[in-house]
Amino acid sequence: MAPEDLPTAFFEELGFGADYGTSCANWDADKSWCEDADDEFCKPYYTWCFVDPACDDSEEVDYLKRTEYAGKFNSRQCTLEDEEHDCVIDE
């Protein structure tokens, strides 16, 4: 999976930015939807990226469930070993 496989126009329509989820980063902690949330992905230490749904340790993305992108991209929390992980999107 490569960054160009992601629906960047869709992400921009939602206000995320075209590069949203393309690498291991904290994409949400400073966003308005995390201001009063206690979700783990809103914590400053939480980094994640989009991955192939075939990755065993990936999770379905809630806001994609009712879109044409459902089942095409999952998310995965990043770890120190991610540079070696074959599921992380290749640049």
Sheet arrangement for strand 59-60: 48-51, 74-77, 59-60
Q: What is the pLDDT along the chain (91 residues), one digit of tens a residue?
A: 666 778 888 889 988 888 888 888 889 888 888 888 888 889 988 989 888 888 888 899 888 888 998 888 899 888 766 555 555 555 4
Residue 75 lies in a domain: yes
Residue 91 lies in a domain: no
Tell me which residue range forms the domain holding 28. Answer: 3-83
The residues, ordered by sequence, that sit 6+ positions from 19 with a Cβ below 8 Å of its Cβ are 3, 8
| Number of structural domains the chain divides into | 1
Inter-CA distances, 90 with 2, 26, 53, 61, Å:
5, 18, 15, 19
Residue 31 lies in a domain: yes
Res 56: pLDDT = 80
Residue 11 lies in a domain: yes
How far is the first Cα of the chain from the last one, in angstroms, to the nearest whole number? 9
**Residue 49, beta-bridge partner list:** 76
